[in-house]
A and B are shown apart, each in its own frame.
Chain A
Amino acid sequence: MNQIASQNAPSPKVVVPHFIFGALTWLMVTILIIFHPEAFTQHYFNAELLAITHLLVLGWITMIIFGALYQLLPVIMEVKLYSETLAKISFLLMAIGTILLSLAFWHFSFGPLMFIAGISIVISVSLFVANALLTAHSSNKNVIERTFIVSSVIWLLFTVLAGLTLAINLSHPFLKVSHVELLKLHAHAGLVGWFVQLIIGVSSKLLPMFMVSHHVNTKKLNFSFYTINIGLPIGIIALYLQYKIGVVFSAIMVVAGIVGYLSFLLASYKKRVKKQLDIGMKQSALSFVFLVIPLFLIFTLLLNIDFLNRLTLPLSVAYGSAIVIGFITSLVMGQTYKTLPFIVWLKVYQGKVGKVILPLPKDLYSEKLAIAQVWLFAIGFGFLLIGISTTNTTLVMVSGILLLLSVAFYNLNILKIVLHKPTNK
């Protein structure tokens, strides 16, 4: 008999703090957008945008991914998490590192504070990577999802090491390449190597499971894996050597890989048994619609179209925002409703069936709040993109208010879920 996946689940004490820290960080970011909209309407290498970006990618997205992965790796690999202690230490170091790094960026200070923050993040990531790889190692499930996850965590380590190198280079310059070009290299290693690959690995297992889609051909995912992992290193080297054709070739490869993945998801969607999508899956679907925006923008930016030249800088910020906020944030918010209620529900009700009233996991949060959250997010993100593209700070500020309301509703639901108590019969 196979082991049941829920027997491998880690303690919620390991997982839940990641969700709470992540949700509060995202709330903090929306407040910063309201009070500092100019961060989004200048050159992307500005103190405020660097601080906001790192809060988003480390404090919000990576934090939630770490927490969710501690729960999901046992589901995907069908083994227990290697170490809960490593996970707890990694959480603390990531939380401290992110706060210090954002403060250092905000004050544009590249001294010891940034160095300490960088070291703290590198150690946190190293512990996470060791934990993930040792968990994967103990699994005999040699599937493409596992390959994507293993590759993504290695790219994460590369990304934070590159980030630390850049931080040192800012205070003690030793690299001959322009800092802006190095920033693109660091950003794409993180966005594509870490986030996109991790999302492909996890979602290609979970989304068909949530939709109950059987017999979906995974060959397209093999294609995606090779195109991304050949295309991305070519792009990194080409960016370092400033070899434009190499960057364009890399973009074509990576986008082809992402299209292959989207085609796999579409096939899963068409074969789904569960026809009605719940609110978590609807926001996730929305995130894939938003993903189309950066896929177009990347070629618009690379092709240097004459009449768009004066828009290069705003479109670059729009491109990054469309990936980080439009795609990844929206997906993380949606998938929170597919993971956190189940984590808490299992913890509260396992072993208590028959003794207490058993609700459904979806009863742990308010669906009305979740629906309002999705609408506010979609409209807020629309305003943000228009505000960035037209360098209109008022529109960016309005987007910040809408996103703040969306995140406030999201946080209320998270609070409702983690504070859930059973009702006796």
Chain B
Amino acid sequence: MSQIPFPTVPKFSASQAARPMMARDADAMFWMSRYVERAEHVARLLLVNSNLLIDVGDLAPKLLQQQWQSVLTIMRTEPATTGEGPARDLGPRIAQYMTFDGDNANSLLTCLSRARENARGIRENISAEMWEAINTLYWSIRSDDAPARFEESPDDFYRQVMTGSMLFQGLTDHTLAHDQRWLFTQLAKYLERIDVTCRVIETKFSILQSAGGQMEAALRNIQWMAVLRSCCSIEAYRRHYLGEMDPLRVASFLILERSFPRSVRYAVDMAHEATAAIRNETGTLSIDPAERVLGRLNAQLEYAEPSEILKEGVPAYVQKIQSEIADAGLAVQKRYFLY
């Protein structure tokens, strides 16, 4: 008797009588979660960048520009209003642009507005606690006194956004039934995390590589720490490698570390589990393309050798991951949101 290949049983448990979910609501759920995650990344990038500039003191104008430019590159944002003006104002201008500019598709304001707008359309699918958290977070950046608070302490301001996002995610985990509603938020969160993390790695590695030997060792170390901070990983890395900064280790930690929730490998695993669980919840037996892409990527990362990453070059390696993640995102939309 031949064995019938059967889809792996998902780790996430599926409830028995699954309540149906509107395709449009799933779509909104997905994007709500994705925008919250994105806002957290944007806030952290801006925060880390400001602090980095304090750390390194008077950088050469070129490097300064490169640093701020990298924020825009990571978020794939065109500098719409930042072109002109004296170089020393560049930081504040980009910070302003990435925080409050409503025309910038990746500003904090836009991310949180969209997250809230999506949430507003599915309030009957999320918990009151989640709604209040996202609504409060939205008003904290939308209210009249927000620019003044930002002026006073950008640091506090960004921290507030980050904590607000995390509070929202925590509430999502603890006030929402872990059915397909929750699964779509998880899938979105991890896809976004993979995407941004890959772009941080890609961009920063490119900058550091192009700088080559010109950079002093101390400065170099600060830069590597900034990469880890941007991915919320500095402490975990230090615990793992006892504080030694080494490009290969940084890359393999951020990409391949199995148990750290900010690593690409972990996020891919979670996203893959979420797709499998969603398939289970919606009663489909055939594996959809998103699950296939994520499953393959998961296996690849699981068995990857750190040296493989170097062979291809770190930027090229994460670019490939990004394009696969993009495919997975599209496949999810096609399978579940097409209404």
**Are A and B interaction partners?**
no
Task: List A residues at the B interface (Cβ < 8 Å).
Answer: none
Task: List B residues at the A interface (Cβ < 8 Å).
Answer: none
